[in-house]
Amino acid sequence: MSGILLADDEPAFQRLTGAWLRGLGHDVRVVGDGDAARAAFAEAPADLVLLDLAMPPHHDPEAGLALIANFAPAPVIVMTGHADHALALKAIDAGAWDFLAKPVDPDILRIVVARAMDRAALARELAALKARDTGAEDMGLIGTTPPMAALRDLIRRVAPTRLPVLVLGPSGTGKELVARALHHASPRADRKLVPIHCGAIPPEWDCARFSDY
């Protein structure tokens, strides 16, 4: 289910619209004023906000417009009985996803909500993909070529496992960077990574003592 925050001060509209949206499979929270809407979103961000503009405590569409920025990055669908062209432009300029005049046509609302929820889902997916890439890129694995993309994908797949990984390559190709990226993306990222220059280890040393690391 998808989380929707419905902010409207009309009890009948709250009941009817809330029940209708739940019937479409959405999880809906209902609040009746601007302050409550801001607090509810801060406590648990919604995927979508349906916002009446003229709500308590101000009952002023301009105050409702000022609320829109508090709900980023969720799309906001503005619903108001104060429907005019200038107000609609102000709402879109303030960051609203769409503007609907009351009384709201259920078929139009269904379409607009579906489009907004799709947009929110795509935004979350993009954010997740960017977050997945950040770990490797922070360790110096930059580049957009297919081999680099394949390397980052391999690191993401291997890092969560407990398998030993052997990184091969000529001197200067970034083997230690790959090792650091693997460590950074693994469940052991909060533990120390201990690089050891094997070529500098004297032959008489007992390398078995490093196994505990």
Domains of the chain in sequence order = 3-127 (3.40.50.2300), 140-210 (3.40.50.300)
For position 152, what pLDDT does the model report? 83
d(CA 18, CA 30): 7
**Start-end of H helices in the chain:** 11-23, 34-43, 61-67, 85-93, 106-138, 146-158, 175-184
pLDDT at 49: 96
pTM: 0.61
Per-residue model confidence (pLDDT) at position 213: 46
Taking the C-alpha atoms of residue 39 and residue 67, their distance in angstroms, rounded to an integer, is 11
Q: Of 171, 177, 180, 165, which is closest to residue 198 (Cα–Cα)?
A: 171
* Positions in the chain short of pLDDT 70: 1-2, 127-140, 204-213
Predicted pLDDT at 146: 83
Beta bridge partners of 30: 6
pLDDT, position 136: 45
